[in-house]
């Protein structure tokens, strides 16, 4: 019932097509249930002539046969229309579910995306939604057909002779026991099956994205083995499910044939006694076949329904997971107001913990960034630099303390408003499979051509873009692999500059640039974006030494804060970084 309540809002929009599907299906089944009686009439009266002294009635055979043919055509049309409206209902409702699921994923925090895993989310949006579609179509068409065949066929059989009901009563429990046993064993396997598909998709996604690393380290065999193990687990699970389902048909066929034998035996006794006509026995066999075949279909429908219910639970878990990125109000219900500053950032006793590991990454961080300031962050690998700046646009939430932008706690902002103010150029340059121009316009879709060119020029990208075969209209390969690392970074920087938020964050986004190009970039930023607050994460002191202030992080805490000259005089950690890089340059 819980799952049906979850599906109801999506099915409600298509109630009219679902109702039409059921009505046409009912018409189809009623015709199917009526035809055995017409066949009995042809045999009893048209061929044997039981009520006409044994004289066959050719006219009755022709007229009844013609009616049967016409009904078959109507039945086929009703079946076709029922299938069409069923598919419209199933496709339409699951299309809404798929869009809702994807929309929810787009609003997840980074923590929530990590918890589900990329492979699992892909499986849920694709395969699981497909299973839900099958579940819906089987509920509409398959389940209705089976129930009607059972009820209508049983009623029609009993109207022929009540003794036939005894045979049905004996056969039905055997079939139900077979169905219950198989479904009891297979139900838990469907969840395992989808989880196995999650793992397989995760491996495929990782290996396709990291194919260059795999080849560079000659790890094809290792990844093939990982894939084989995950694939074997999936195949074994599917095999176990199919083996259990294979037990259904033989048992049900045996029961069906025994029931038919019982009908023939009882019918022959009744015919010899003159209580039944041969055509009536034929009709009884047809009705019994419809009932038991309907039960066999029901068994197959139940396994589709079971798998669909498992998939529905998985999709429901995504859709009903509320985004952790919520807007928080004051205690009196009002929303905090900005203090009138533009582009200021303040950290107040901030600590941060990754939920999946539980380890503390940042501890008791406090500092402030003034409007228009160039503020740099430097520290050893793994000290928490990226985690620190990820708290500003609220990709993650602080475990303790507050992060304020323009005097307002970031948790009080609408995420869209906050991310209009704060623009991040990530460490990994993500480009999309479209043109260079469209990749840059992602920052501001309505920007003019002059604005695009100006942003690219500031990012030191305009010159190399114009050298491309089609200039700004040159297509970019998947994940930007048709460009070098430095080119990808400059396009990503141009995208950020075009957006021109109040606060620009460069998360080690110049690591692939040579020192000359990087110096020209920072000179352009000083010239064209002097009024914008810039927060720069870098590994090289050469990249940050001209910043107004430099924050030195060490093991998740603030080790020092000041200008380059001040830090050289007062911070041992900063001098150690400086000396190590200087030695590397001298050695080189």
Model confidence pLDDT, tens digit, residues 89-107: 989 899 999 998 888 888 8
Q: How many helices (H) and strands (E) does the chain have?
A: 22, 10
- 342, 502 contact by CB (below 8 A): yes
Mean pLDDT of the 5-26 span: 88
Q: What is the pLDDT of residues 565-580, one digit of tens each?
A: 888 988 888 888 888 8
Question: pLDDT (tens digit, 9 = 90+) per residue, 488-509?
Answer: 888 888 888 888 888 999 988 8
pLDDT at res. 183: 72
The sign of the torsion formed by the CA atoms of 159, 165, 168, 172 equals positive
pLDDT one-digit tens code per residue, 301-310 = 777 777 777 7
Using CA atoms, how far apart are residues 46 and 196, in angstroms rounded to an integer? 60
Q: What is the pLDDT of residues 409-446, one digit of tens each?
A: 888 888 888 888 888 888 777 788 888 888 888 878 88
Over the stretch 156-193, which tens digit does the pLDDT of each residue have? 777 777 777 777 777 777 777 777 777 777 777 777 87
Write out pLDDT tens, residues 341-351: 788 999 999 99
Rounded Cα distance between 484 and 461, Å, is: 12
pLDDT classification of 385: cutoffs 50, 70, 90: confident
Q: Is the pLDDT of residue 11 over 50?
A: yes
pLDDT score, position 1: 58
- Residue 46's pLDDT is 72
401-417 residue pLDDT tens = 999 998 888 888 888 88
Residue 379 has pLDDT above 50, yes or no: yes
SS3 423: strand
Q: What is the pLDDT of residue 327?
A: 64
pLDDT for the residue numbered 551:
92
Average pLDDT, the chain: 81
Each residue's pLDDT tens digit, 519-548: 888 888 888 888 889 999 988 888 888 889
Q: What is the pLDDT of residue 202?
A: 78
Reported as a pLDDT band with limits 50, 70 and 90, residue 367 is: very high
How confident is residue 333, by pLDDT bands cut at 50, 70 and 90?
Answer: very low
Percent of residues, the chain, with pLDDT higher than 90: 9
262-284 pLDDT, tens digit per residue, is 777 777 777 777 677 777 777 77
| CA distance linking residue 10 with residue 100, whole number of Å | 10
Domains of the chain with bracketed CATH = 2-319 (1.20.1560.10), 345-587 (3.40.50.300)
Confidence of residue 85 (pLDDT cuts 50, 70, 90): very high
Predicted confidence band at 511 (pLDDT cuts at 50, 70, 90)? Answer: confident
Report in angstroms the alpha-carbon separations of 442 from 197, 343, 395, 529, 530.
33, 22, 19, 19, 23
Q: Which residue has the higher pLDDT, 6 or 362?
A: 362
- Asked if residue 75 lies in contact with residue 69, where contact means CB atoms within 8 angstroms, the answer is no
The Cα 380–Cα 462 span in angstroms is 33
Q: What was the pLDDT predicted at 369? A: 92
Residue 350: per-residue pLDDT: 93
pLDDT band at 358, cuts 50/70/90? low
How far apart are the C-alpha atoms of 166 and 214, rounded to whole Å? 67
For 549, the token pair is: 């202030």
Cα–Cα dist 544/18, whole Å? 64
């Amino acid at each position: 019932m819980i799952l049906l309540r979850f599906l109801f809002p999506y099915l409600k929009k298509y109630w009219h097509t679902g109702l039409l599907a059921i009505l046409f299906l009912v018409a189809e089944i009623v015709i199917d249930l009526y035809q055995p009686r017409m066949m009995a009439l042809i045999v009893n009266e048209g061929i044997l002539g039981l009520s006409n002294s044994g004289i066959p009635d050719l006219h009755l055979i022709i007229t009844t046969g013609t009616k049967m043919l016409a009904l078959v055509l109507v039945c086929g049309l009703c079946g076709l229309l029922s299938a069409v409206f069923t598919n419209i209902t199933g496709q339409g409702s699951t299309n809404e579910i798929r869009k809702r699921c994807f929309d929810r994923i787009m609003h997840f925090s980074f923590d929530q995306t990590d918890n589900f895993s990329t492979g699992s989310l892909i499986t849920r949006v694709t395969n699981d939604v497909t299973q839900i579609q099958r579940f819906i179509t089987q509920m509409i068409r398959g389940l209705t057909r089976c129930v009607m065949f059972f009820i209508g066929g049983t009623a029609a059989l009993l109207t022929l002779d009540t003794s036939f009901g005894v045979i049905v009563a004996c056969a039905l429990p055997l079939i139900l026991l077979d169905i219950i046993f198989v479904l009891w064993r297979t139900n838990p396997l469907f969840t395992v099956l989808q989880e196995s598909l999650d793992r397989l998709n995760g491996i495929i996604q990782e290996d396709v994205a990291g194919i260059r690393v795999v080849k560079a380290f000659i790890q094809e065999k290792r990844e093939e083995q990982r894939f084989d193990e995950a694939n074997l687990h999936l195949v074994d699970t599917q095999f176990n499910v199919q083996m259990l389902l294979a037990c259904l048909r033989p048992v049900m066929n045996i029961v069906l044939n025994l029931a038919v034998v019982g009908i023939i035996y009882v019918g022959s006794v009744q015919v010899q006694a003159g209580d039944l006509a041969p055509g009536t026995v034929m009709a009884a066999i047809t009705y019994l076949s419809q009932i038991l075949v309907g039960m066999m279909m029901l068994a197959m429908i139940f396994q589709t329904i079971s798998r669909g219910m498992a998939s529905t639970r998985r999709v429901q878990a995504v859709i009903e997971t509320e985004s952790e990125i919520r807007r928080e109000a004051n205690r009196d219900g009002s929303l905090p107001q900005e203090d009138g500053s533009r582009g200021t950032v303040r950290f107040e006793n901030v600590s941060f913990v990754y939920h999946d590991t539980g380890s503390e990454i940042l501890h008791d961080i406090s500092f402030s960034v003034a409007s228009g300031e160039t503020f740099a962050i430097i520290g050893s690998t793994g000290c928490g630099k990226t985690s620190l700046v990820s708290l500003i646009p609220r990709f993650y939430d602080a475990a303790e303390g507050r992060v304020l932008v323009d005097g307002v706690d970031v948790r009080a902002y609408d995420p869209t408003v906050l991310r209009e103010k704060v623009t991040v150029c990530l460490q990994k340059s993500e480009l999309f499979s479209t043109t260079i121009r469209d990749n840059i316009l992602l920052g501001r879709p309505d920007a003019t051509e002059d604005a695009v060119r100006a942003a690219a020029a500031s990012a030191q990208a305009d010159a190399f873009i114009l050298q491309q075969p089609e200039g700004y209209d040159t297509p970019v390969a998947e994940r930007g692999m048709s460009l070098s690392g430095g080119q990808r970074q400059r396009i990503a920087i141009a995208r950020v500059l075009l957006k021109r938020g109040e606060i620009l964050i460069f998360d080690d986004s110049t690591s692939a640039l040579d020192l000359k190009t990087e110096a020209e970039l920072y000179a352009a930023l000083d010239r064209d974006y002097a009024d914008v607050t810039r927060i720069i994460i870098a590994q090289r002191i050469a990249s940050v030494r001209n910043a107004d202030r430099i924050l030195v992080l060490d093991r998740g805490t603030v080790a020092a804060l000041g200008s380059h000259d001040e830090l050289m005089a007062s911070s041992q950690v900063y001098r150690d970084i400086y000396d190590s890089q200087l030695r590397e340059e001298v050695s080189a």
